[in-house]
Chains A and B, each alone.
Chain A
């Protein structure tokens, strides 16, 4: 039981390049989330998927798109990376309702 997995672990991009961050969970959770973590700012929600087939914007969605590929997988895409998107990205999943979220190990992204 791997929990929440994320690929890649590290990535360096040049401004304007695109990339997709992958996330998968094996806990049969309905809901999945993408956060970014910046020093002194805690974690901020980028997008979420309350259930398979739905996605919604979070607190900081600009510059990102998401795809809920199936119940297990939820990807985050940067179409044209900017230095302001340098951050650590975390994927999480949860059951329905007010249950806790389980986090992946993170992807450290640097945009130069």
Chain B
């Protein structure tokens, strides 16, 4: 069965500092990987996705993630954090369903706090 581990429950960084959020997955084949962001009281917004090809994926809001098959990881990075990046971040692995769609398994999330 697929699973996702986000080992950091909370992370605090200073505005302007770099950021790396960790994600490790377990999946039997080539994974479909996603990072979503959730602001308080809001739904989830897709930051970026990996399906195949280039292992360094660019997303919205200046985020990027690198797929490392040997480490079963898909860590999210940003070179310089802005106060507006404070939110909860979720990593997810997808499994294509027979008949269409895909089943996402989410990690438990990392809460990012940005100090001014």
Query: Would A31 and B100 count as touching, CB distance under 8 A?
Result: yes
Q: Which of B27-47 contact A (CB under 8 A)?
A: 32, 34, 36, 41-46
Q: Which of B76-116 contact A (CB under 8 A)?
A: 90, 94, 96-109
A48, A49, A101, A103: residue with the most chain B Cβ atoms closer than 10 Å: A101
**What size tier do the contact residues of chain B reach?**
20 to 34
Closest to B46 in A: A100
Q: Which of B32, B49, B100, B107 contacts A50 (CB 8 A)?
A: B100
Query: Would B98 and A50 count as touching, CB distance under 8 A?
Result: yes
Q: Which of B45, B90, B97, B102 contacts A43 (CB 8 A)?
A: B90
Inter-chain CA distance A30–B51, complex, in Å, is 19
Query: Would A94 and B44 count as touching, CB distance under 8 A?
Result: no
Query: Would B96 and A42 count as touching, CB distance under 8 A?
Result: no
Q: Which of A51-97 contact B (CB under 8 A)?
A: 51, 54, 56, 58, 90, 92, 94, 96-97
Q: List 25 A-B contacts (CB under 8 A).
A: A31-B100, A31-B101, A31-B102, A40-B9, A40-B108, A42-B4, A42-B90, A42-B106, A42-B107, A43-B90, A44-B106, A45-B104, A45-B105, A48-B101, A50-B100, A51-B100, A94-B101, A97-B96, A98-B32, A98-B94, A98-B96, A101-B102, A103-B36, A104-B43, A105-B43
Residues of A within 8 A of B (CB): 4, 30-33, 40-45, 48-51, 54, 56, 58, 90, 92, 94, 96-106
